[in-house]
């Protein structure tokens, strides 16, 4: 049965492309180049949802299809796979690469969780807040990968070994993956989806984007979304209300780590330096015009290969470790999203979609915010936030340009809506499901949270758009 479904899904992708590229074009519904661009997007989104091949493999389709069809210049597509955004993520992986071997990731997490209480509600609060804080410093997928096995180990220590059927496990694991996504919206460092949006902003404005702009404009949403998701989780009826021994478990685990190692201090200083350097970029942009965050992260990540460990007397990180720690699949997925955006923009497909949405023109206001938010949210839920950014942001820019509107405020409101995934077992949610979270429970618990969170994105985005005159003004 699986083989039959896989074959059907594999064939449906090219058929969707053919529908837009040939049938609708031949019927005069759309021009050839935009039809092909929309066809490629439909093919990729369908495969991202149904997954007949790995989502990373699907991210290579822009190169494969553009080489065969020649919709836009290939240099523009290929360059997305080695852009400064890719360098930024790569540098971030190099900076955090030594953390697992020296134990810094566990120390940060266990210290935050050592004050946890025995009630499920306190568990939800601490796991959620911890995930939010950590995902402001590193990609949300890394945060979920760090915290989820710790939560499972805690549940096992408390006597809950059947995670799939454990009532206490569902809210805890959901709190981790949802918290990481809420926190990931707060800074450009929270995930590839934010870097994708920034790439489109830089392309549209022709100027370097300052990370402090993102932090300031997304902070109200991060705060409101945190409160909304937290209340939505802790106010729901719970069959299991307490766990025994969890606080003691974390304290014991933290004691097992021993004193803070010198390597941990060095590694943390390097990462904090890169993070702070990115946000204070306006202060030294004139002095070092080429030292954008991507290269700052790469330089400090490169230092890890040079610094000699004060504990082991070896380099803090070697290339074998880097190969294991760098999320190569995420780099390709992220680049594929950028490449898709390049095809949508270069082929004129974004303008076609924009004309369908606007009917020729659209005035600024609530309904435009709602349209962008719903599109961004639905694509995120079906695929992931990075794909949503690649698909939604070009549409936002095209719609606003066609309607003579400033697109920057609407890009930020769309970013609020795209920065969450709560329903299907894909993207970061696949990590939690891989550790035993029941996909059915994920879907059931996620529906009300998705609706609450989308409503918050619409309300906050609209209020910021109407009440803050400088919301669309960048440094």
Q: What is the pLDDT of residues 192-229, one digit of tens each?
A: 788 888 888 888 888 888 878 888 888 888 888 888 88
* Model confidence band, residue 90 (pLDDT cutoffs 50, 70, 90): confident
pLDDT band at 29 (very low <50, low <70, confident <90, very high): low
Share of the chain above pLDDT 70, in %: 84
Nearest Cα neighbor of 143 from 133, 156, 153 is 133
Quickly state the pLDDT bin for 65 (edges 50, 70, 90).
Answer: very high
Closest by CA position to 188, among listed 273, 258, 88, 269: 88
pLDDT one-digit tens code per residue, 380-408: 776 677 778 888 888 888 888 878 888 88
Angle between helices 211-234 and 439-467 (to 10 degrees): 130
pLDDT at 309: 83
- The reported pLDDT for the residue numbered 275 is 75
More confident residue, 417 or 29: 417
HEC string for 142-185:
HHHHHHHHHHHHHHHHCCCCCCCCCCCHHHHHHHHHHHHHHHHC
Res 67 pLDDT > 90:
yes
Residue 245 above 60 pLDDT?
no
Lowest mean pLDDT among 106-110, 125-129, 320-324, 369-373: 106-110
Torsion of CA 386, 389, 394, 400, to 10 degrees: 180
- Position 64 scores a pLDDT of 93
Rounded distance between C-alpha atoms, residue 385 and residue 381, angstroms: 8
Confidence (pLDDT) at 459: 92
Higher per-residue pLDDT: 141 or 322: 322
pLDDT for 362 beyond 70: no
Question: Residue 205: in which H helix or E strand, if any?
Answer: helix 192-205
Comparison of pLDDT for 228 and 330, the residue scoring more: 228
Residue 10 has pLDDT above 90, yes or no: yes
Nearest Cα neighbor of 332 from 130, 102, 48 is 48
Average pLDDT over residues 282-294: 81
What pLDDT score does 49 carry?
A: 72
What pLDDT score was predicted for residue 431? 64
Range scoring the smallest mean pLDDT among 153-162, 220-229, 311-320, 447-456: 153-162
Helix, strand, coil share of the chain (percent; to 5): 75, 0, 25
Mean pLDDT of the chain: 80
DSSP letter at 208? Answer: P
11: pLDDT strictly greater than 90: yes
The secondary structure element, H or E, covering residue 165 is none
Q: Which of 67-81, 123-137, 242-256 is predicted with the least confidence, judged by mean pLDDT? A: 242-256
pLDDT for 197 = 86
pLDDT above 90: percentage of residues in the chain: 7
- Least confident among 17-21, 83-87, 216-220, 358-362: 358-362
More confident residue, 29 or 149: 149
**Is pLDDT at 278 greater than 90 in this prediction?**
no
Does this model's pTM top 0.75?
no
Q: Is the pLDDT of residue 325 over 70?
A: yes
pLDDT the model gives residue 435: 65
Cα distance between residue 349 and residue 39, in whole Å: 9
Across the range 85-93, mean pLDDT stands at 78
The pLDDT-based confidence of 9 (bands split at 50, 70, 90) is very high
Q: Is the pLDDT reported for residue 422 higher than 60?
A: yes
Higher model confidence: residue 56 or residue 362? Answer: 56
Select the highest-mean-pLDDT range: 323-327, 347-351, 414-418, 440-444. Answer: 414-418
The average pLDDT across 339-352 equals: 78
Alpha helices in 307-327 (DSSP H): 319-325
């Amino acid at each position: 049965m699986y083989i039959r479904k896989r074959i059907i899904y594999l064939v449906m992708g090219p058929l969707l492309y053919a529908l837009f590229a040939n049938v609708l074009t031949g019927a005069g519904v759309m021009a050839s180049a935009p039809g092909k661009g929309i066809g490629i997007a439909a093919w990729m989104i369908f495969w991202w949802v149904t997954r007949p091949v790995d989502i990373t493999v699907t991210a290579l389709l822009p190169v494969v299809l553009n080489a065969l069809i020649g919709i836009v210049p290939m240099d523009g597509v290929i360059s997305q796979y080695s852009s400064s955004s890719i360098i930024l993520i790569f540098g971030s992986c190099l900076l955090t690469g030594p953390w697992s071997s020296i134990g810094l990731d566990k120390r940060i997490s266990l210290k935050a969780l050592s004050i946890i209480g025995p009630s499920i509600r306190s568990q939800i609060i601490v796991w959620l807040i911890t995930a939010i804080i950590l995902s402001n410093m590193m990609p949300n997928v890394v945060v979920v990968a760090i915290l989820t096995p710790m939560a499972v180990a805690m549940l096992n220590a408390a006597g809950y070994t059947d995670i799939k059927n454990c009532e206490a496990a569902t809210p805890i694991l959901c709190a981790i993956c949802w918290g990481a996504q809420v926190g990931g919206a707060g800074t450009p460092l929270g995930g590839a989806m934010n870097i994708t949006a920034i790439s489109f902003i830089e392309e549209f404005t022709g100027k370097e984007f300052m990370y402090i702009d993102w932090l300031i404009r997304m902070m109200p949403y991060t705060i409101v979304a945190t409160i909304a998701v937290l209340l939505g989780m802790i106010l729901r009826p719970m069959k299991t209300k307490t766990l025994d021994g969890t606080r003691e478990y974390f304290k014991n685990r933290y004691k097992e780590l021993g004193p803070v190692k010198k390597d941990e201090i060095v590694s943390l200083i390097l990462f904090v330096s890169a993070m702070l350097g990115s946000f204070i970029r306006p202060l030294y942009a004139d002095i070092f015009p080429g030292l954008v965050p991507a290269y700052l992260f790469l330089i400090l990540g490169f230092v890890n290969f040079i610094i000699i460990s004060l504990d082991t007397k070896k380099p803090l990180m070697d290339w074998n470790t880097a190969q294991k720690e760098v999320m190569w699949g995420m780099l390709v997925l992220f680049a594929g999203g950028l490449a898709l955006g390049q095809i949508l923009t270069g082929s004129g497909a974004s303008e076609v979609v924009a004309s369908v949405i606007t009917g020729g023109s659209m005035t600024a206001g609530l309904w435009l915010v709602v349209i962008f938010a719903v599109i961004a949210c639905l694509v995120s839920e079906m695929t992931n936030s990075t794909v949503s950014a690649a698909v939604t942001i070009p549409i936002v820019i095209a719609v606003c340009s066609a309607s003579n509107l400033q697109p920057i405020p609407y890009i930020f409101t769309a970013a609020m809506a795209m920065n969450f995934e709560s329903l299907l077992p894909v993207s970061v949610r696949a990590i939690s499901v891989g550790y035993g979270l029941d996909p059915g429970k994920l879907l059931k618990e996620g529906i009300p949270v998705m609706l609450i969170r989308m409503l918050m994105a619409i309300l906050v985005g609209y209020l910021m758009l109407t009440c803050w005159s400088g919301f669309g003004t960048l440094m």
